[in-house]
Amino acid sequence: MQKVLRRRILRDLCANKFRYLALAVLIIMSMYLVVSLVGASETIMQGGAASDREHKVEDGQFSVFVPLTASEKNEITQKGLSLEENFYLDYNMKDQSVLRVFQNRQKINLAVVREGRLAKADDEVMLEQRYSEEHRIKVGDKVTIGGETLKVSGIGCVPDYNAPYHNLSDSTVGSKQFGLAFVTAGQYKKMQDQGKSAQTEVYNYSYRLKKGMTDKKLKEWLKDQTIDASDITDNWFKKYWRRTGGQKDKVTKGIDKLADGSGELSDGLSELASNNKKLQEGTGQLLDTYLEQASDALKDYGLTEALTEENFKEQLTQLKDRNDNGIVRLSIGSLLDQLTMLKSYKDGIVKYTDGVGEAADGAGKLSDGVRKLKKGTDKLVDKYFDISLSNMTEFVTAEENMRIGATTDDQVINKLAGLIAGVIIMILFTYVISVFVVHTIEAESGVIGALYAMGVTGKDLIMHYLTLPVCVTFISGMIGMAIGFSPIGVRQQMADTYNYFSFPEVPDVYPVYLLIYGAVMPVLAAVIVNWLVIRKKLAQPALKLMRKEQKQGRFGRMDLGDMAFVPRFCIRQFLRELRTGLTVIFGLFVSLLICMLSLDCYVMCANVGIENRADTKFEYMYTYKYPTGKAPAGGEEAYARTLKRERFGYNLDVTVLGITKDNSFFDADVQKGKSRVILSSAAAQKFALAKGDQFVLNDEDEERDYAFTVDGVTQYSTGLYVFMDIDSMRELFGEDDDYYNVVFADHKLNIPSGRLYGTLKKSEVEKNSDIFVNMMMPMVSTLMIMSALIFCVVMYLMMKVMIDRSSFGISLVKIFGYRISEIRKLYLNSNFCIVAVGALICIPLSKLCMDAMYPLMVSNIACGMNLHFSPVLYIGMYVGILLLYAVINFFLVRRLQKITPAEVLKNRE
């Protein structure tokens, strides 16, 4: 029996070729879309991971003030890691771009050469591929870097600059403004000695962990490695250190000098005091001897009592008065004066020695006090002025490094979007197949009943009616999958990655689950739907099938009152075909979801570009490495600090920016308070925050959280920023009252490059604003076209089903003399209402659904998400849907013309 039934398959295919062709196109487009998106993601993710392993991507990197010594490198490598110097110099090019020059890598982050070879001679250089593409540089060309003319020996990429950001704080890759260059060790040393770089050499190290070592242990070890500021040769650092850390040295040195001086004073006075007794005894003996000699000499002049220290004034005065001899009187008077002076001298010596003794005691106490002061001062300075200079300046693990694995992070979202789209599309064409099969079985009801009555088994009938849908869906799925994996599929979807990231060429990947999805899922959907529908039909009596009796729905008995014939007929036609109409609306909704995905992507990128230009009010932004004591004239100081905030599994950088209240470059009304902040619009959109919310940021270096209260939101889309009062921020993070590390200006300032980490110009922001739009346009265009085609196919299939189901009625009204225009009014105008009303419902509904899902799809991007559509865009979408309907309606009218009155005769009993 199957042999007989198989003859009907080809006739059925020819009779319904357009219907099956439309179904095939729907499946092919669906498979192409899913396979190309997910296949591209898998190829990039798996290929990128394999390339990183092959070229030994780092586990992390760190920068230091002073290169590690041989003993330090030996110690750290013995702890369990592989280490390589990754020093670099930045050079300003004539076109205002920047080239970062490295030595050729030997062990870690090995270069992937795309064209040519690595630099072997000192006059050669290998350039990063995206920079070369943007500047149209080829192998064999010559470039001048820092006055050195070098021949381009090769073009390629390195795994640690997968996303070649100039600075880790950048939000977009700008390969027009920044690139990499790799030279020999000899050429690098020569360029280093010439000193023509835009800033001092950066001592950066890359590492790979081995057993027994972790990122945390390495970071702790590096923090403990302190250095003497005098070891750093950078003149700008020395000036900065004298103004900051040098102040501690002044305090400690002053206390040390005071302690030394007080000790010397105490020792001197103690030594002097040790001779006090001898001095007093000697002076006393001198006075006693002088009194004894004077007493012996004056006995002849009538002195009766020996002179003593206590009575010599009284005895000599009396002797002088009793003696009439003038010469004797004069001599006695002179002697009295001498003895008085000697007595005063002795008393003075006594007072002096007593004072020296007291001074020695006081100096001893002073010395003890100063020693206590020094000890206390040392503790105080160490506790509250801990500015011991750690050699480490930066530490970034591979997971935190936005330059590494950026393509994988980007493709995770694309893969998720593709899988979600695959599920939605599968539901769509499963439902389409169900309607399609129901119509086919109803149209073939008489044949099924006749065959059933003739003894054909249900199994044979099921196999027969499964054969054609299964073959069509299987072949369509395989074709769609093949196109998806072809160069116009996967490779086309990968073009965006190669146009933005610095990514190596990777081989195609064919994931097993994707092969199963493309080959099995369409067939499985067709088998399940057909089996269920046919089983249900075969449960009916054969006579009922042969008569094509259809169950009267409850809507057919609806009382429509005294309504005119035409609207009454249109309403009943709509109610009879409600299932098919709902399929059209569902297909429209799914198509609009895909369309909204592309439009959200385009609108977000376009809004970022427009708002970045409008919100960037400064002309120059200078980020300081070694700030001066006071901001340069013409610039406005600010304090920037980077913290972290988790969102959908991604740890994003958030810049806390302390500004003055009268800052002219930001419309943020900051208030005093260590927990009060104003959010940028980008941060508010990204983290779904509003005024009054609590906002917690994490400082990974200090391993602590900071909680803030949102005072308001200000328009600023350039990045994830949090604004607060600069004085409050200084107090919060323990900085000096005059500290700053960023300066904004409306004109170029004369700041030596050695003091800076970098300079951001408004012109660079404007150039980078269009990068996202240019990068995403191919995907946006693809999704737009696919959504329009899916909508057209679904609408054509379903409306054709409606017409085919109504072919008996259309044939009958033709016999009654109705013209095509009148028939179209009866059978097609209700479809216009379905599409028109359905579009009004589905456009805002699909927008709400996609806006809810979209933040998850771009969760790894640190920028704002302004998804606002202008009214013109909504109107354009609605008009576009109606125009597509008009095109489909044109072909459906032609189908009406092909239905003849003979249909009535074919269906008579």
The pLDDT tens digits for 685-728 are: 888 888 888 888 888 777 788 888 888 888 888 778 899 998 99
How remote is the C-alpha of 824 from its chain's centroid? 57
Is there a contact between 513 and 563 (Cβ–Cβ < 8 Å)? no
Q: Strands 392-397 and 60-64: what pairing?
A: antiparallel
In a domain, 755, yes or no: no
pLDDT recorded at residue 238: 59
More confident residue, 880 or 594: 880
How remote is the C-alpha of 18 from its chain's centroid? 50
- Please indicate, yes or no, whether residues 730 and 632 belong to a single structural domain of this protein: yes
> Which of 430-439, 554-563, 662-671, 880-889 is the least confident region?
554-563
- Please indicate, yes or no, whether residues 645 and 705 belong to a single structural domain of this protein: yes
d(CA 425, CA 783): 13
More confident residue, 379 or 522: 522
Q: Please report which confidence band the pLDDT of residue 138 belongs to, taking 50, 70 and 90 as the band edges.
A: very high
- Please indicate, yes or no, whether residues 342 and 448 belong to a single structural domain of this protein: no
Tokens of 472: 């069509």
Q: Please report which confidence band the pLDDT of residue 909 belongs to, taking 50, 70 and 90 as the band edges.
A: very low
DSSP secondary structure string for all residues of 599-663: HHHHHHHHHHHHHHHHH---SEEEEESS--SSPPTTEEEEEEEEEEEEETTEEEEEEEEEE-TT-
pLDDT recorded at residue 376: 61
Mean local confidence (pLDDT), 340-365: 69
Q: Pick from 384, 417, 436: which residue ends a domain?
A: 384
Select from 210, 207, 201 the least CA-distant residue to 219: 207
Give the angle 774-778-782 at the CA atoms, nearest 5°.
Answer: 150
Tokens of 890: 């044109």
Q: What percent of the chain has pLDDT over 90?
A: 12
- Please indicate, yes or no, whether residues 624 and 608 belong to a single structural domain of this protein: no
C-beta neighbour count of 115 within 10 angstroms: 16
- Please indicate, yes or no, whether residues 235 and 258 belong to a single structural domain of this protein: no
Is there a contact between 716 and 608 (Cβ–Cβ < 8 Å)? no
In a domain, 217, yes or no: yes
Tokens of 798: 């379903």
Q: Pick from 384, 415, 438: which residue ends a domain?
A: 384
The sign of the torsion formed by the CA atoms of 257, 263, 265, 268 equals: negative
pLDDT recorded at residue 190: 92
pLDDT at 743 over 70: yes
- Please indicate, yes or no, whether residues 79 and 152 belong to a single structural domain of this protein: yes
Mean local confidence (pLDDT), 58-82: 88
Mean local confidence (pLDDT), 121-147: 92
Angstrom CA distances, 179 to 162, 557, 765, 837, stand at 12, 74, 17, 53
- Please indicate, yes or no, whether residues 221 and 286 belong to a single structural domain of this protein: no
pLDDT recorded at residue 10: 79
pLDDT tens across 771-787, in order? Answer: 666 666 766 777 777 77
d(CA 61, CA 202): 12
d(CA 317, CA 299): 15
In a domain, 390, yes or no: no
d(CA 93, CA 100): 10
In a domain, 759, yes or no: no
HSE-up of residue 473 (Cα within 13 Å, Cβ side): 27
Is there a contact between 501 and 519 (Cβ–Cβ < 8 Å)? no
Q: Strands 676-680 and 704-714: what pairing?
A: parallel
Mean local confidence (pLDDT), 320-336: 69
d(CA 277, CA 201): 70
d(CA 857, CA 850): 10
Select from 162, 59, 34 the least CA-distant residue to 506: 162
The sign of the torsion formed by the CA atoms of 588, 593, 595, 599 equals: positive
Select from 866, 892, 871, 720 the least CA-distant residue to 804: 892
Q: Helices in 444-539 by DSSP H: which ranges? A: 445-453, 458-485, 492-498, 512-538
pLDDT recorded at residue 109: 93
Q: Please report which confidence band the pLDDT of residue 880 belongs to, taking 50, 70 and 90 as the band edges.
A: confident
The residue with tokens 């208030």 is 671
Q: Please report which confidence band the pLDDT of residue 543 belongs to, taking 50, 70 and 90 as the band edges.
A: low
Is there a contact between 717 and 698 (Cβ–Cβ < 8 Å)? no
DSSP state of 96: S
pLDDT recorded at residue 372: 65
- Please indicate, yes or no, whether residues 432 and 305 belong to a single structural domain of this protein: no
Of the spans 390-399, 481-490, 601-610, which averages the highest pLDDT?
481-490
How remote is the C-alpha of 443 from its chain's centroid? 58
Is there a contact between 85 and 131 (Cβ–Cβ < 8 Å)? no
pLDDT tens across 175-206, in order? Answer: 888 999 999 999 999 998 888 888 778 899 99
In a domain, 239, yes or no: yes
Instruction: For residue 248, list its beta bridge partners.
Output: none
3-state secondary structure of 60: strand
pLDDT recorded at residue 382: 57
What is the span of the domain harbouring residue 130? Answer: 60-243
d(CA 865, CA 843): 20
User: Domain count of the chain?
Assistant: 5
d(CA 597, CA 421): 10
- Please indicate, yes or no, whether residues 708 and 820 belong to a single structural domain of this protein: no
pLDDT recorded at residue 177: 85
pLDDT tens across 779-837, in order? Answer: 677 777 777 777 777 777 767 766 766 666 667 677 766 777 776 676 666 677 778 88
pLDDT at 310 over 70: yes
> Which of 236-245, 466-475, 742-751 is the least confident region?
236-245
- Please indicate, yes or no, whether residues 800 and 813 belong to a single structural domain of this protein: yes
In a domain, 756, yes or no: no
pLDDT recorded at residue 83: 92
C-beta neighbour count of 61 within 10 angstroms: 22
How remote is the C-alpha of 223 from its chain's centroid? 25
The amino acid sitting at 338 is Q
d(CA 429, CA 752): 65
Give the neighbor-by-neighbor strand order of the sheet with 392-397: 81-85, 203-209, 60-64, 392-397
Q: Please report which confidence band the pLDDT of residue 108 belongs to, taking 50, 70 and 90 as the band edges.
A: very high
pLDDT recorded at residue 58: 93
pLDDT recorded at residue 121: 93
d(CA 189, CA 181): 14
In a domain, 111, yes or no: yes
3-state secondary structure of 759: strand
Query: What is the reported pTM?
Result: 0.69
The residue with tokens 């602590």 is 704
In a domain, 861, yes or no: yes
HSE-up of residue 399 (Cα within 13 Å, Cβ side): 4
d(CA 863, CA 611): 11
Specify burial of residue 360 (Cβ count, 10 A radius: 0-12, 13-18, 19+). buried
- Please indicate, yes or no, whether residues 109 and 238 belong to a single structural domain of this protein: yes
Tokens of 505: 């060429």
> Which of 205-209, 413-417, 682-686, 846-850 is the least confident region?
413-417
Q: Pick from 718, 747, 776: which residue ends a domain?
A: 747
d(CA 723, CA 666): 9
Residues 6+ positions from 773 with CB-CB distance below 8 Å? 602, 605, 606, 609
Please report, for the chain, how many H helices and E strands are present, in that order: 28, 20
Distance separating the N- and C-terminal Cα atoms of the chain: 26
Mean local confidence (pLDDT), 389-400: 82
Between helix 445-453 and helix 512-538 the angle, nearest 10°, is 70
- Please indicate, yes or no, whether residues 218 and 163 belong to a single structural domain of this protein: yes
Angstrom CA distances, 815 to 570, 824, 898, 900, stand at 19, 15, 14, 9
d(CA 612, CA 606): 10
